[in-house]
Structure 1
Amino acid sequence: MLAAVAVFVVLMLVVIIYTRNSKNRPPGPRGLPLIQQSFSMNYVRKEETFTKWRKQYGPIYQCSALGQTIVVLSDPDLIREAFSRPFTANRQESNVLKLFYADNGIIFSSGELWQQTRRFTLFHLRNFGMGRTQLEGLIQDQVSAFVDDLVAPNVGKAMSIDKGLRIAIANIIWGVVSSERFTIHDTRALEVMDSFDEVGKLTGVFILLFLFPVLERFPARLTGLDKAYKLFSIPMDKLFQPAIDEHARTVDLNGEPRDYIDCLLQEQHRSPDLFTNRHMLRSILDLFVAGYDTTTTTLRWAFCFLCSHPEVQRRLQAEVRAVAGDERPPQLADRPRMPYTDAFLMETQRVANVAPYGIEHVTAEEFQLGGFTVPQGAQIVPLLQAVHQDEALFAEPLEFRPERFLDAEGKLKPSRVLMPFSVGKRSCIGEAMARAELFLFVTAMVQRFTLRFPDGFRHDFSVSESKVLIREPTPFLLVAESK
């Protein structure tokens, strides 16, 4: 009897504390104390759960899952305001994540380490041509390899472009990172990229460990962490560490760096306590994965939309050929005279929503936003998919219409509420490179080919369940026909 009373009192105290701490908090779903919405979340497609609650609670609401308070934003002004604050740039900390070096690198680190690494990386990427014409040659080499070695030999045949496209895009960032190139059929590159995909499929393992942290003390083979760590070790052992070791033998620590790894080694020589080997490995991994995964997926959506909307493809082809002709490949210098092409790419990013909610930010202190109090330590989720599908911002949002980004005179009409690369201090570090890649790959393809699906196939724009943070289209084949 006394035990039952004690349990009741504890539960009441939890409820009282929870209610008191919720004063002036954003509205949102309420669940049982401690558990909250942990078992209501679709962890593979979180954006679906967030969007459902958004319809009920509005553009700013709060929920809780896996022991974390989450504030979800779907108003573009609130997202920009929140992410302009210096104390909203942290990332979630976890002993499990540390096993995968996620307390280091560029994407998941926090505080001074993140600030210095981001500044360092941006500075050196710009020196290597990020966003400038000297990067164009590297991209054009991979466009040619993809078009000439993969697409052209299979004209008129149903083919999968996925693997060759991934290698071509990975080559660009890997060239900047290490000065090395893969061939378009390199099995080592595919093994590395496939290992990342397989880690992403182990969502259940990580959810279990977040729900029950005590499981971290159990043998890894019992929790499934051994498989995740084995997959994680593949790129480290087969690609990243060998590249660092090779550079360490030949780098001039006081000379002109050849690539990003040289820059890391030179900085490690100056700041060994900050730029540890673990930090360098994670920084390389972050650049590599971020440099190929979202861009490859966006291009797959772009080709899917071209096959599904032949009238859009014809207009795109006409613009590309009017500006670049047939004798030379399109160039970045052509871009200002191709507004419809840019509008097509913007609409692709809006409809595809490759990164539907970005990566959660964590607040370092309590602050006011939209008339509510956002607590210290809360995760802030920018629900970009809801922004891009908001009828108040985009008329008929489910329709694919590039014209929405053109004015009455056919000139490009940029949109402040289109934010595929996120915004603020943690916006995508490779945005300029990604924009250049999307433009050059798409224009090269439509200049030389007309794309369609195989006879009898029609894509339903469904999303693969194989990745957690990225929306990629379910598999499809396409046919490239000579113009």
Structure 2
Amino acid sequence: MVVGLLASISISELLLAFVVFCLIYWVIESYSRRVPKGLKRLPGPWAWPLIGNILTLGKNPHLALARLREKYGDVMQIQIGSTPVLVLSGLETIRQALVRQGDDFKGRPDLYSFSLIADGYSMAFNPDSGEVWAARRKLAQNALNTFSVSSSPSSSSCYLEEHVKKEAECLIQKFQELMDGVGHFDPYNHVVVSVANVIGTMCFSRGHANENQELMRVVTKSHEFSESASSGNPVDFIPILRYVPNPKLQKFKAFNQRFLKFMQKTVQEHYRDFDQNNIEDITSALFKHSQDKGQGNISTNIPERLITNLINDIFGAGFETVTTAISWSLMYLVTKPEIQKKIQEELDTVIGRERRPLLADRPRLPYMEAFILEIFRHTSFVPFTIPH
């Protein structure tokens, strides 16, 4: 009788029953928020089974979270898929978590999208936050600092500032040529090239993105990275989305592969010309450090294969944010000519027209600095930090 019953049940029916069972189990698991004994449930919006608050976040999650903050406060919990996510808002709350309790919050979640960046070996997107990670992070900071200080004791400028000044002159000249022509132009692509030139020079002693077609293809597609690298990417919280057609995810994968291959090729070419007695850029500084004999200290030992990943992070982190900040600044200056006029008057009074501004002039340019800080605050061009 049992054999006859089993024979009457088709394989498709068994599969359907199994899927229904899994869905019911998933709904129950995602719907129930387990709170450790002795702790209170965090405030937050009601979440749908399976998808959580994804529909609430929408296409502009930073705006949606700002609205939720008004109702639930600076510390709240949402769900993305079936994963609980803690959301912190407000300057003091964020300072408490990321500065005063930085050691508690410095780790990264093990998200799927992170594994696609630098083949999973990115320092910035790595779930590892132990001693080796901290040492390599310090190494990258030291390399950056080396080229962000005065080039000589008698100079008030630094390596970075010299590169920026040269590139700014070229960018201004390009804008003047375009303004002399008929019609209008979009400055974004020209800003992209200028920023790539500065960071390329800092990293490799050479920029010239407009002369390097491979670099141009990478930097002009950088938006494909920023569109998918933000917090709350559904693919990180609903695993099945990794296996369904997802054009945005495919673009993200393709961009990261192109970017990593370009970095690997550039670093290898740079290594062939490496002279440890002539350190002119960040890559050379990392090469030299990798050849130093350690004294049992992990911070003095770095595999050469990781140099590419460090440069990948340094180049990528500086490029996108600087390009976006300059683009927002230009837009606001064009749409608010009264502010542009006040900035120009301050520059003329403090510096004059005989030379370009220097970083050392910053204390004497309060209106200029206020404008820059207001750009950071008002535009929210980096509304999320990388998830902790």
Q: Which position in structure 1 is the counterpart of 2:303?
A: 275
1:154 corresponds to 2:172: no
Per-residue deviation, residues 109-165 of structure 1 (Å, max 9, x unmatched): 2313431222101111111225872232111111111112x1121235522211111
With over 3 angstroms needed to count, the CA separation of the structure-2 counterparts of 1:249 and 1:13, relative to structure 1, is closer
Q: Which position in structure 2 is the counterpart of 1:378?
A: none
Q: Which position in structure 1 is the counterpart of 2:376?
A: 349
* Structure showing the higher strand proportion among its residues: 1
Deviation at 1:209, TM superposition (A): 3.6
Question: Which aligned pairs between 1:4-23 and structure 2 lie closer than 5 A?
Answer: 18=34, 23=39
**8 Å contact from structure 1 (residues 105, 114) kept in 2:** no
Q: How many residues align?
A: 351
1:234 corresponds to 2:258: yes
3-state secondary structure, aligned to 1:347: helix
Per-residue deviation, residues 369-394 of structure 1 (Å, max 9, x unmatched): xxxxxxxxxxxxxxxxxxxxxxxxxx
Per-residue deviation, residues 155-182 of structure 1 (Å, max 9, x unmatched): 3552221111111112112111111121
With over 3 angstroms needed to count, the CA separation of the structure-2 counterparts of 1:129 and 1:16, relative to structure 1, is closer
Question: Which aligned pairs between 1:85-164 and structure 2 lie closer than 5 A?
Answer: 85=101, 86-101=103-118, 103-109=120-126, 110-112=128-130, 113-130=132-149, 133-135=157-159, 136-148=161-173, 150-157=174-181, 158-164=184-190
With over 3 angstroms needed to count, the CA separation of the structure-2 counterparts of 1:94 and 1:6, relative to structure 1, is closer
**Range that drifts further, 342-351 or 188-197:** 188-197
Q: Which position in structure 2 is the counterpart of 1:80?
A: 95
Question: Which aligned pairs between 1:211-290 and structure 2 lie closer than 5 A?
Answer: 211-213=237-239, 227-237=251-261, 239-252=262-275, 255=277, 257-269=279-291, 275=303, 277=305, 279-290=306-317
1: distance between equivalents of 2:88 and 2:33?
25
Q: Which position in structure 1 is the counterpart of 2:12?
A: none
- Opposite residue 142 of structure 2, the aligned amino acid is F
Q: Percent identity?
A: 22
2: distance between equivalents of 1:214 and 1:223?
11
1: distance between equivalents of 2:315 and 2:273?
22
**8 Å contact from structure 1 (residues 60, 72) kept in 2:** yes
3-state secondary structure, aligned to 2:315: helix
Q: Which position in structure 1 is the counterpart of 2:60?
A: 45
Deviation at 1:198, TM superposition (A): 2.9
2: distance between equivalents of 1:308 and 1:19?
50
**8 Å contact from structure 2 (residues 30, 83) kept in 1:** no
With over 3 angstroms needed to count, the CA separation of the structure-2 counterparts of 1:178 and 1:18, relative to structure 1, is same
Q: Which position in structure 2 is the counterpart of 1:295?
A: 322
* TM-score of the two chains, using structure 2 as the length reference: 0.78
With over 3 angstroms needed to count, the CA separation of the structure-2 counterparts of 1:30 and 1:262, relative to structure 1, is same
Q: Which position in structure 1 is the counterpart of 2:10?
A: none
2: distance between equivalents of 1:78 and 1:63?
17
Question: Larger radius of gyration, structure 1 or 2?
Answer: 2
Deviation at 1:105, TM superposition (A): 3.0
Deviation at 1:38, TM superposition (A): 3.5
1:24 corresponds to 2:46: no
1: distance between equivalents of 2:380 and 2:60?
12
With over 3 angstroms needed to count, the CA separation of the structure-2 counterparts of 1:336 and 1:22, relative to structure 1, is same
Task: Identify unmatched segments of 5+ residues in structure 2.
Answer: 1-16, 151-155, 293-297
Q: Which position in structure 2 is the counterpart of 1:391?
A: none
2: distance between equivalents of 1:35 and 1:21?
26
Deviation at 1:89, TM superposition (A): 0.6
Asked which structure has the greater RCO (Cα within 8 Å, sep 6+), the reply is 1
